[in-house]
Homo-oligomer: A and B are copies of this chain.
């Protein structure tokens, strides 16, 4: 038996099976990765906008409830749990205005499920609007390979109405702004902010 240097046995990969699986699932596989990529794309876009002094927008770190810290060698957290973000994921400043948004991705073709949003986030966004801030959602429809900016008030109205559990795709298309994609930035979402909040 051939072995790797660490002793684990070498197993020839079944490349034929793998290739055929890729052929078949290639599209859906790349689509499945997109949800996780949305956050990454926004973070890269923020880095671009920050470096060009166009905007200054950061992801809020995920709040963590720390249970135990070991101080024997520096401060090592040995027990902690993730906490729910009570606000939104992103905030910052653009042209002097306060900007606040939440990014969500859905695998649904037909609608954006409101279950993706917490009541804390709705309350938070209402307050941002009251204070005169710019508040919106970035919504990705993975199956359509499209990303939209949708004003928070539109989502809040849907949420408070309570009749529907999701926003139909068509409504997002007609009331949102499609965010252009590229290499740098990955998502031209500042262009969408311009269109939605500054050119009206």
Contact = CB atoms under 8 A, between A and B. Distances in A.
Contacts of A64: 61, 64, 77, 80
Contacts of A128: 56, 93
Given A61-B64, A81-B77, A56 B93 contact: no
Nearest to A130: B53
Contact of A93 (B58, B63, B77, B131): B131
Copies of this chain present: 2
| Most interface-central of A62, A92, A95, A131 (chain B CB within 10 A) | A131
A62 B193 CA distance: 29
Nearest to A65: B77
A79 B82 contact: no
A132 B131 CA distance: 17
A55 B132 CA distance: 11
A80 B60 CA distance: 18
Contacts of A100: 93
Contact of A81 (B61, B75, B81, B130): B75
Interface of A: 50, 53, 55-56, 58, 60-64, 74-82, 87, 91-100, 124, 127-128, 130-133
